[in-house]
């Protein structure tokens, strides 16, 4: 099964990449765009069939390695499912 | 003193650190491959600069889980001297030995330049050979060097005098104009509460030989050696 981990910079933390993307979008004429944030999407192909365990372990992985809690938050969900 | 320089796949300042400690400062020094699980008899450890694991995921994040890091972490927790430079500083924050995180430079550019930094304290084992508020040019070379710490923790760090180096102008002015990468409070280097773990983005090992500009960076290592000898 596929577990998705989405890692985003925490609210209130300056995201220079998001800022640069936003500037570029404005230059392209998409002036309505505000507060762009750029994060990461990590796709885990996991063996086993127990979804609860898979999600719990993916949370552990995010806590330990995939996200840095000082500056990033994360969400874990199954592919196709809701966060 | 007996020093170990940890070598990760992608480290590229390990030899500079070895050269500074061995050839210039006449210390006993050896390389330690990241897969080793025993450090042997050591008094100090350098986590060198570079791009361990290609900076994948986050700079320093994957190196933190290299086999040798368990030993480095327990060495540090026993009070052993650990100096993390650039990528090494990133590993120290990732492993939780130092607070905060190093994020992308606000300019989004890789910055490689001689950067004035100011010594904030001279009563530590890493800075006792400097003059009060001495300003020195030390190279920085990083893309993720913007130090971040949430406000409440930042206050705690500042209150305990954890900041040892700040980015400044050539005359020692610390302000937004002299901040190359957007670090909070112009922070360039910090020490842990125990006073035995130093992390800094600038590269003092590149300024240890008078043949290459000047040797002001050497005083960091000489401070440690001096304190060790008198302990």
Task: Give rounded-to-5 percent helix, strand, coil for chain A.
Answer: 35, 25, 40
CATH of the domain at A64: 3.30.1280.10
Confidence of residue A29 (pLDDT cuts 50, 70, 90): very high
For residue A48, the enclosing domain spans 2-78
B226 is catalytic: no
Is B86 an active-site residue?
yes
Catalytic residue flag (residue B193): no
User: B13, B18, B71, B86: which one is catalytic?
Assistant: B86
Checking if the pLDDT of B160 tops 70, the result is yes
**Considering chain B, what is the average pLDDT of its residues?**
97
CA distance A62 to B117: 35
Q: What confidence tier does A12 reach under pLDDT thresholds 50, 70, 90?
A: confident
Give residue B130's pLDDT: 98
Q: How confident is the model at residue B84 (pLDDT cuts 50, 70, 90)?
A: very high
Find out whether B48 and B74 touch, Cβ atoms under 8 Å: no
Domain boundaries, chain B: 2-230
The fold of B2-230 is: Rossmann fold (3.40.50)
Query: Is residue A81 predicted with pLDDT exceeding 80?
Result: no
- Please report, rounded to a whole number, the percentage of residues in chain A having pLDDT higher than 70: 96
Lowest-confidence region among A74-83, B16-25, B51-60: A74-83
Of B94, B106, B149, the CB nearest to A68: B94
Residues of B in contact with A68 (CB under 8 A): 58, 61, 94, 101
What confidence tier does B231 reach under pLDDT thresholds 50, 70, 90? confident
Output phi, psi for B79, to 5 deg.
100, 5
Judge whether A83 lies within some domain: no
Q: Give the residue-averaged pLDDT of B161-190.
A: 98
- Cβ pair B148:A13 closer than 8 A: yes
| pLDDT for A83 | 47
Q: A20, B108: Cβ pair inside 8 Å?
A: yes
Counting the structural domains of chain A, the total is 1
Interface touch A14/B106, C-beta < 8 Å: yes
The ipTM assigned to this model is 0.84
Distance CA B166, CA B178 (A): 9
């Amino acid at each position: 099964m596929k577990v998705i981990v989405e890692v985003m910079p925490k609210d209130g933390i300056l995201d220079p990449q998001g800022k640069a993307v936003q500037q570029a979008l404005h230059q392209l004429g998409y002036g309505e765009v505000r507060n762009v944030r750029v994060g990461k999407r990590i796709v885990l192909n996991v063996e086993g069939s127990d979804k609860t365990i898979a999600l719990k372990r993916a949370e552990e992985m995010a806590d330990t390695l995939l996200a840095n809690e000082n500056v990033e938050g994360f969400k874990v969900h199954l592919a196709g499912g809701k966060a | 003193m007996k020093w170990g320089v940890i070598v990760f796949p992608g480290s590229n300042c390990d030899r500079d650190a070895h050269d500074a400690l061995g050839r210039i400062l006449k210390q006993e020094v050896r390389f330690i491959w990241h897969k080793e699980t025993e450090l042997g008899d050591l008094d100090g450890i350098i986590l060198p600069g570079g791009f361990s694991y290609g900076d994948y995921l986050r700079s320093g994040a994957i190196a933190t889980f290299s086999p040798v890091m368990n030993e480095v972490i327990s060495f540090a927790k026993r009070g052993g001297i650990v100096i993390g430079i650039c990528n090494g500083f990133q590993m120290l924050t990732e492993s939780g030995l130092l607070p905060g995180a190093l994020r992308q430079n606000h300019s989004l550019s890789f910055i490689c330049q001689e950067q004035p930094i100011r010594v904030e304290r001279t009563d530590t084992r890493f800075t006792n050979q400097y003059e009060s508020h001495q300003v020195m040019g030390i190279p920085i070379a990083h893309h993720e060097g913007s130090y971040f710490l949430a406000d409440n923790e930042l206050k705690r760090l500042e209150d305990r005098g954890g900041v040892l180096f700040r980015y400044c102008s050539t005359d020692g002015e610390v302000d937004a104009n002299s901040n190359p990468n957007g670090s909070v409070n112009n922070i360039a280097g910090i020490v842990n509460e125990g006073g035995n773990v130093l992390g800094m983005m600038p590269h003092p090992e590149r300024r240890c030989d008078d043949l290459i500009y000047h040797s002001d960076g050497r005083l960091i290592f000489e401070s440690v050696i001096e304190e060790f000898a008198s302990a």
